[in-house]
Structure 1
Amino acid sequence: MASAKWYVAHTYSGYENKVMTDIQKTVDNRGMHDVIQEIRVPMEEVIEMKDNQKKVVERKIYPGYVMIKMIMTDESWYVVRNTRGVTGFVGPGSSPVPLTPEEVESMGLEHTTVSLDFEVGDHMRVKYGPLEGFVGVITEIQMDKKKVRAKVSMFGRDTDVELEFNQVEALA
């Protein structure tokens, strides 16, 4: 069976939560949990000032859109497309286009956990890129950016560089 991918359904503005609830009810009623696996309206907390009072409110990150993790079949397409408030899927014409893994990650829909085999102070080698083959010492690990900072010896002097996790390998 195909794996589920994230799709984006366009809705009337203000109907996002209603659409999410209605799709969830249909999934429950029809027993489609294996096909339509997750439905989300991404939210963020924002501080608003009102009458000189700070107030934390939830705001939709993508107004007018609902994110749905599903296996695209005729039935799943039909269920989402015919939910009241849905105007269509994001994609050319009537063919929905799934989000790329990079889009899913950047939208915060799924977080991939990264296990590193190095830590600050470890010696490392650059595997590819303009600094391929250079050796250095890791000075900082930035988990949120998936990057490391390192001191690399170039032309007899230490130089600070920033590299992607996958560009670096620990030296034994």
Structure 2
Amino acid sequence: MSENQNKWYVLRAISGKEAKIKEYIEAEMKNSSLGEYVSQVLIPTEKVAQVRNGKRVIKERSYLPGYILVEANLVGEVAHQLRSTPDVIGFLGGMEKPSPLRQSEVNRILGTVDELQEASEDLNIPYLVGDAVKVTFGPFSGFSGIIDEVNGEKKKLKVMVKIFGRKTSLELGFMQVEKE
């Protein structure tokens, strides 16, 4: 079997079961002849960073929920084996003869996923200018103020805080404050 016979197909799956299906197919690849015909199983995922309760949390979520990319040579019973995997609904693009993805589509999907993982450091900034915040960490913890400036690149905020009756500008990190 030459490598160029393998094409990319899309399996439709029950949303949330993608990882379980991938594990099942990979186990079948090792334990049966399916490994001769299926070369890769991918779940396109992206990393998303959020600030929750003052802590930075990075979660990985499916970029295309309900879909699994499979690089395979669909000869004989291979399509039937993949279609009959638990929690798989079927192939995208036809029940009898599934349509493979064009190489340009595969490159775009895989390229988009690579870009999303490289840009994983982008943070959903939960703060806006004018929001009231309370300092939770550092020498000024307990003070309240108003956000004057948001710098997403440095993950810093300029907060106007009243200290001894005078407004003072503090530069604080996203993790040092919480919304009031």
Scaled by the length of structure 2, the TM-score of the pair is 0.57
Asked if 1:53 corresponds to 2:36, the answer is: no
Rounded to whole Å, the distance in 2 between the matches of 1:10 and 1:85 is 9
Counterpart for residue 74 of structure 1:
76
Alpha-carbon RMSD across the aligned residues, in angstroms, is 1.8
Asked if 1:4 corresponds to 2:6, the answer is: yes
Secondary structure of 2:26's aligned partner: helix
CA radius of gyration, larger in? 2
Counterpart for residue 30 of structure 1:
32
Query: Which amino acid counterpart does residue 21 of structure 1 have in structure 2?
Result: E
Number of equivalent positions: 110
Rounded to whole Å, the distance in 1 between the matches of 2:95 and 2:69 is 18
Gaps of 5+ in 2: 112-180
> Larger % of helix: which?
2
Instruction: Give identity over the alignment, percent.
Output: 28
Residue 18 of structure 1 deviates from its aligned partner by 0.6
Residue 53 of structure 1 deviates from its aligned partner by 2.2
CA deviations over 1:33-74 (Å, ceiling 9, x no partner) = 220111011111111222232211111111101110000113
Secondary structure of 2:22's aligned partner: helix
Gaps of 5+ in 1: 110-172
Moved over 3 A (4+): none
Rounded to whole Å, the distance in 2 between the matches of 1:60 and 1:100 is 22
Scaled by the length of structure 1, the TM-score of the pair is 0.59
Rounded to whole Å, the distance in 1 between the matches of 2:103 and 2:34 is 24
CA deviations over 1:2-55 (Å, ceiling 9, x no partner) = 610000000001110111111111121113322011101111111122223221
Secondary structure of 2:68's aligned partner: strand
Rounded to whole Å, the distance in 2 between the matches of 1:33 and 1:9 is 17
